Amino acid sequence: MIAVIQKVSEASVTIDGFIKSAIGQGLLVLLGIEDEDADEDIDWLTRKIVNMRIFEDADGVMNESLLDVHGEILVVSQFTLHASTKKGNRPSYIKAAKPDVSVPLYETFVKKIAEYGQPVKTGEFGADMKVSLVNDGPVTILIDTKNKV
């Protein structure tokens, strides 16, 4: 499972010209799922995301987590995070899980994040989405659950 986490002052997902979801201060999480991903990856990744200390404290130091600042989360599925660009100029998405595997894992990920008590909004799995954000910092972090050690 790969996640691109962006600290935002605001973010939204628009589908067919209509805003489906929008958040204020918090995190935009772009989530890529592959066949080998499992519940253990979800548990580790969700815990890592909500506890990551990337929000400023009173002294302006990145020392507070999403939980500390009561931020919101917008989770967007993004199979292209598993693109292989080793050969040629056309990316291969062979590592990205098909919907029968990825949809249940995506839904479990969203439910697990919500268990931490933070507001969670989502895009629409498989839809052509327009994602807008104001990256705060900017802070953008890439996490791959295959690199936990």
Instruction: Give me the active site residues, please.
Output: 78-80
Look-up of token digits 């990551």 = 52
* Contact (Cβ atoms closer than 8 angstroms) between residue 100 and residue 53: no
Extended strands (E) in 16-128: 18-23, 26-32, 55-56, 62-64, 72-77, 120-122
- CA separation for the pair 90, 85 (Å, rounded): 7
DSSP class of residue 40 equals H
Residue pair 33/145 in contact (Cβ under 8 Å)? The answer is no
* Best CA proximity match to 81, nearest among 135, 143, 20: 143
Tell me whether strands 72-77 and 26-32 are parallel, antiparallel or unpaired: parallel
